[in-house]
Structure 1
Amino acid sequence: MQNVPVRIPRQRTPADRPTVLVAVGTDRHRFDRLIDWLEQWQAAAAGRAAVHVQYGHSRAPRFEEATAFLDHDALQRAMAGASLVVCHGGPATILEARRHRHLPIVVPRDPAHGEHVDDHQLLFARRLSDAGLIRLCQTQAELAAALDAGLREPTRFAVASDTGGRAARQEAVARVGGIVEELISARASRRILAWRSR
């Protein structure tokens, strides 16, 4: 069965309202927990921001604009026009958000909730948070606080422009790649130790 993007009709919003872009990626697992948290936050935020959601295989959310999937160009345009970016813990999505000068608000998928096959997003997001490259949110309260702070003071969730150009981007990609390799190595070592102890 082919996945066809579903668009919920966009309601007109005042031009001066900030936009929160949410990207859950394309993983086949649902991420309804994040959708629920966002809907509850928006209800409490009383329309202070327009929320645009790329929801993947999750349930269709009740927002001004929502679509299951965005192609690469559409995602780039959405990130460029967003005031804040919320995303899952996928390395590519995080890098794209940073490339568009956002400090992404990251809610990693958790296998304990059936949102992914393993905990690599949790581990990866914690490493990036420790390095100051993302704002990690693992609870609903943390997400609400981050969104509220971002609406009050958007500059807290902006990163400096990439003045180094291509070399700086390649260095950032290499740094993220190194973190991913370390996590994979550590996971493989744990599996070998567990297998040997049988």
Structure 2
Amino acid sequence: MIFASIGSMLPFDRFVRAVDEWARDNPGEEVFIQIGEGAYEPVHAPFARMVPMSEYRKRLKDCDLFVAHVGMGSILQALEARKQMLLIPRDIALGEHTTDHQVHTARRFQGRQGMKIVESTEALKAEMTALLREPMKVDGSDFSIKASPQLLDAVATFLKGGTPTPISKAG
């Protein structure tokens, strides 16, 4: 089963249309799309504009492939659930976001195990097929849902009005 989500903020009709077209071309595959407030409504896959967090987590837990925008909330939840993910960044030039931070986030995460990032909807559709046929390995052992002691100390120092010690990548 594929769970596709645009996140909770802005419309992403280009993404929703591409996933819906993939569902049309692959009628034997189960697809569910969380579409937000966009104008395009899928005709080949079931969808909801928004789903309650409990349903979102269940769909994420039960899916074989998570397809989403390059939003940190989506990435972190998929990492926590140890799900392979296929991501496409929103494009500021197409009015899909107010900044290009998703492009920068995509560059930062490119090559991470269990995560595939594509630039176009055609690549998105091709990779959906490929990743269902041959799933990526998802380890997730380097991901923790708990903050490091160094991060907690830095936040506490900042909140007390001090200057936190920079946190190294190793720490």
After superposition, the Cα gap between the structure-2 partners of 1:49 and 1:30, relative to the gap in structure 1 and judged at 3 Å, is same
Structure 2 residue 3 is the aligned partner of structure 1 residue 21: yes
Supply the RMSD in Å over aligned alpha carbons.
2.4
Structure 2 residue 87 is the aligned partner of structure 1 residue 106: yes
Q: Tell me, what secondary structure is at the counterpart of 1:70?
A: coil
Q: Which consecutive segments of 4 or more residues in structure 1 shift more than 6 A?
A: none
After superposition, the C-alpha distances for 1:26-47 in whole angstroms (9 at most, x for unaligned) are: 11x32110112112222222x1
Question: Partners in 2 of 1:97 and 1:168 — Cα distance?
Answer: 12
After superposition, the C-alpha distances for 1:85-130 in whole angstroms (9 at most, x for unaligned) are: 0011110111101211112100111111111101001110121014
Alignment of 1:8-47 (within 5 A): 19-27=1-9, 29-45=10-26, 47=27
After superposition, the Cα gap between the structure-2 partners of 1:171 and 1:103, relative to the gap in structure 1 and judged at 3 Å, is farther
In the alignment, what sits opposite 2:161?
none
In the alignment, what sits opposite 2:155?
none
Question: Partners in 2 of 1:33 and 1:44 — Cα distance?
Answer: 17
Higher helix content, 1 or 2 = 1
Gaps of 5+ in 2: 152-171
In the alignment, what sits opposite 2:69?
88
After superposition, the Cα gap between the structure-2 partners of 1:65 and 1:39, relative to the gap in structure 1 and judged at 3 Å, is closer
Question: Partners in 2 of 1:80 and 1:104 — Cα distance?
Answer: 12
Alignment of 1:59-70 (within 5 A): 59-70=40-51
Identity %: 26
After superposition, the Cα gap between the structure-2 partners of 1:128 and 1:171, relative to the gap in structure 1 and judged at 3 Å, is farther
After superposition, the C-alpha distances for 1:136-184 in whole angstroms (9 at most, x for unaligned) are: 0111221122111112123x1x41255x8xx833369x99xxxxxxxxx
User: Residue 105 of structure 1 contacts residue 136 of structure 1 at CA under 8 Å; is this kept in 2?
Assistant: yes
Gaps of 5+ in 1: 1-18, 176-198
Q: Aligned letter for 1:23?
A: S
Question: Partners in 2 of 1:42 and 1:133 — Cα distance?
Answer: 22
User: Residue 53 of structure 1 contacts residue 63 of structure 1 at CA under 8 Å; is this kept in 2?
Assistant: no
In the alignment, what sits opposite 1:170?
146
TM-score (norm. length: structure 1): 0.68
